[in-house]
Amino acid sequence: MKGMAIVRTLVPVFCVLVLASCGKTTDEKIPGDIRNFDPVAQVPDLIGEGGSLVSLSARYVRPDGTIDIKAKYVRKGETVVKFQVVRYDPDPVPAETKPVKEKKSDAPLSTEPPPQPTSYPMVSPPYEHATVIIARPDSGVTRTTGSGYPTGGRQEWWRRLGMSSYTKRYTQSLEGAVPLPVLSFSEIWEKAINLGTPENAVAQIDYDVDGYRFSIAYTDIKLDFDIDGRYRDPELLAAAEAGEIDSVTKMLANNLSPESQDDDTGRTALMIAAENGHEDIVNLLLEYGCRVDMRDAEGRTALMDAAQKGHAAIVKRFIDAGADPNVRTTNNMTPRVAAMSWGTPEASALFESLGAR
């Protein structure tokens, strides 16, 4: 009986902790026209007031920016759209607190500390990180319940309503949030068509902190656009490496993205310009809004390249622009270590004055 009493005491607390860490799962009908589903248009309703988007991934997007979720080419059970969202919960879940156990003692006051509670009141953080998945509403799967299949358990047919949502975790802030898309998927498609993409296709479009990625399955068509919808042109990398300031100026003036990257290495025009000491191109790219702390496949930033090559003026420009002097690569290298090992005394002194590691 004593053991049962302990279980009853722990169950309410345990349930609250599970709710705070795992959240809830829902299954409901897809909003809007499932034959002409517009993922971008659904974002405000999904995140709710005070929430934000983290990422959006959509398959089978037509040139008008919509998806036919019930099209024949959509496979049964296939995820068509995935939203990662952060939603504000106005009613955080309170947890119970175990009572303080009285401790009997004959010791005089002030000779022993007062008894401490075995747990403290807690409230689940107000921001819910959730994944919302859109699939064919008529798609069903066979699932096993009970002790397992084929040796045991029961097979049952489970039918999805179309839109499922589950909570991953709770936090105190809008961690990972990105601005709402400034362009619809039809506008991204229009840009792709202007770059030579055929219109008789459906595309996959992803949106996150790095912008838009456009691709068509079973082809070589892969296009990147920054968060403002500017095309990331690989030719900008070659111009930045060669120090061709006039070519870089013309490309940026034609609304190309200053954040162009190499598909394989992740190297950006800013990194290449910094590595080669082209301070004028560095300044131009920053003026056009290039993020100073973008990373390549090895975790390097442009600051690391400037430090390693000893370009002290560029190092100072990056630091003034808000670059992180303590950033680490995948092999734990920092800009200060790079400057001390391969750079110049001037570059090393800049990091030393900042107290960088």
Question: Domain range holding 269?
Answer: 230-354
pLDDT at 68: 97
* SS (HEC) of the chain: CHHHHHHHHHHHHHHHHHHHHHCCEEEEECCCCCCCECHHHHHHHHHCCCCEEEEEEEEEECCCCCECCCCCCCCCCCEEEEEEEEEECCCCCECCCCCCCCCCCCCCCCCCCCCCCCCCCCECCCEEEEEEEEECCCCEEEEEECCCCCCCCEEEEEECCEEEEEEEEEECCCCCCECCCCCCHHHHHHHHHHCCCCCCCCEEEEEECCEEEEECCCCCCEEEECCCCCECCCHHHHHHHHCCHHHHHHHHHCCECCCCECCCCCCEHHHHHHHCCCHHHHHHHHHCCCCCCCCCCCCCCHHHHHHHHCCHHHHHHHHHCCCCCCCCCCCCCCHHHHHHHHCCHHHHHHHHHHCCC
Kindly state whether residue 100 falls inside one of the protein's structural domains.
Answer: no
Cβ neighbors of 121 (< 8 A, separation 6 or more) are 94, 95, 97
Residue-level pLDDT, tens digit, the chain, 357 residues: 444 443 333 333 333 333 333 456 778 889 889 999 999 999 998 888 888 999 999 999 999 999 999 999 998 778 999 999 998 877 655 544 445 455 555 656 556 566 555 544 445 577 888 899 999 876 455 555 554 444 444 555 455 678 888 888 888 878 888 999 999 999 999 999 999 999 999 999 999 998 999 999 999 999 999 999 999 999 999 999 999 999 999 999 999 999 999 888 999 999 999 999 999 999 999 999 999 999 999 999 999 999 889 898 999 999 999 999 888 988 888 888 888 877 677 777 777 776 665
* Max Cα–Cα distance, the chain, nearest Å: 87
How many Å apart are CA 188 and CA 66, to the nearest integer? 12
Among candidate residues 303, 296, 313, the one with its CA nearest the CA of residue 259: 296
Q: Same domain for 47 and 195?
A: yes
Bridge partners of 82, per DSSP, are 57, 133
Answer with the one of 174, 208, 242 that is the final residue of a domain: 208
pLDDT at 8: 37
Q: Same domain for 44 and 83?
A: yes
The total domain count for the chain is: 2
CATH number reported for the structural domain that contains residue 350 in this entry = 1.25.40.20
Q: Same domain for 191 and 278?
A: no
How many Å apart are CA 203 and CA 189, to the nearest integer? 8
pLDDT at 184: 96
The CB-side HSE value for 149 (13 A sphere, CA atoms) comes to 7
Q: Same domain for 79 and 177?
A: yes
Q: Same domain for 139 and 247?
A: no
Bridge partners of 205, per DSSP, are 58, 214
How many Å apart are CA 202 and CA 62, to the nearest integer? 5
Answer with the one of 144, 175, 208 that is the final residue of a domain: 208
Kindly state whether residue 102 falls inside one of the protein's structural domains.
Answer: no
Estimate the crossing angle of helix 312-320 against helix 279-287, to 10 degrees: 10
Kindly state whether residue 103 falls inside one of the protein's structural domains.
Answer: no
Bridge partners of 215, per DSSP, are 204, 222
Specify whether the CB–CB gap between 90 and 126 falls below 8 A: yes
How many Å apart are CA 334 and CA 356, to the nearest integer? 9
- At residue 216, what is the residue type? I
Kindly state whether residue 104 falls inside one of the protein's structural domains.
Answer: no
Kindly state whether residue 219 falls inside one of the protein's structural domains.
Answer: no
Kindly state whether residue 50 falls inside one of the protein's structural domains.
Answer: yes
Q: Same domain for 75 and 154?
A: yes
Q: Same domain for 308 and 180?
A: no
Q: Same domain for 42 and 166?
A: yes
Kindly state whether residue 105 falls inside one of the protein's structural domains.
Answer: no
Q: Same domain for 183 and 256?
A: no
Within 10 angstroms of residue 187's Cβ, the number of other Cβ atoms is 16
Answer with the one of 149, 173, 208 that is the final residue of a domain: 208
Q: Same domain for 308 and 242?
A: yes
Using the structure block, give the residue that is written with the tokens 């560029």: 314
Q: Same domain for 131 and 188?
A: yes
pLDDT at 233: 92
- At residue 239, what is the residue type? A
How many Å apart are CA 156 and CA 139, to the nearest integer? 14
Q: Same domain for 301 and 182?
A: no
pLDDT at 105: 56
Q: What is the CA radius of gyration of the chain?
A: 27
How many Å apart are CA 346 and CA 340, to the nearest integer? 10
Kindly state whether residue 213 falls inside one of the protein's structural domains.
Answer: no
